[in-house]
Amino acid sequence: SSGINAECEGDVEETESCNTEPCPVDGGWSYYGDWSQCSASCAGGTQSRSRTCTNPAPAYGGANCQGQNTESQICNTQVCPPRLPSWPEDFKWSSSGVPDGYTCMRVIEFAEPEGHTWQDNFFCWKNGMADPGLRWSMAGAIAGQKCVNTDEAADPHTWGDNFVCLPADSPYDFQWHSAGPIAGLGCIQWLETADPDTWADNYLCN
């Protein structure tokens, strides 16, 4: 024997795979989406937006996203413009001056005798609402406006050229009837009890 030791054959170490399951992935929030439409056009509404737990989505036992997936805010906080008065509930006829809580258009015919008391007659709408643009004319229709003749054929005091007028684009579509209310329409009586010329059955309708 020569007395010389031989080196060991083969690798000094060996490896094997372990814990081969994927590592947990914790969830992450996406960016928020767009705000929703405001629930009101004025005086304060709400809108919301949302996000999803997909950036990344939780996987392999990872934690879900923490927190809320939606948020909201107040929107359109500006004061609402006044609305037009509703027909007929927001309008009123008065034969005794301007009633409390109303803004009015004066209705007068100068040819009427003083004893018929047309000087204190008014057609009115509730305060705080948009001006409906009512105009009274004792000399025919007002050019460029939407007018209706308030004639009482039995009254000899020149009612044939008296008109209630509105802006041309007004949503109201007035009709006058001197023989009672018009079926199917909302009507308001124009009554002057001191005038004997059949003013008990005159109505402005819409």
Using one digit for the tens of pLDDT, what is the confidence trace for 120-153? Answer: 999 999 999 999 999 999 999 999 999 999 998 8
CB 139 within 8 A of CB 169: no
Instruction: Average the pLDDT over 69-98 and give the result.
Output: 96
Share of the chain above pLDDT 70, in %: 98
Cα 112–chain centre separation:
43
CB 104 within 8 A of CB 123: yes
Looking at the predicted structure, is the pLDDT value of residue 34 above 60? yes
pTM of the predicted protein model? 0.65
Residue 114 tokens read as 């003083």
pLDDT at 2: 57
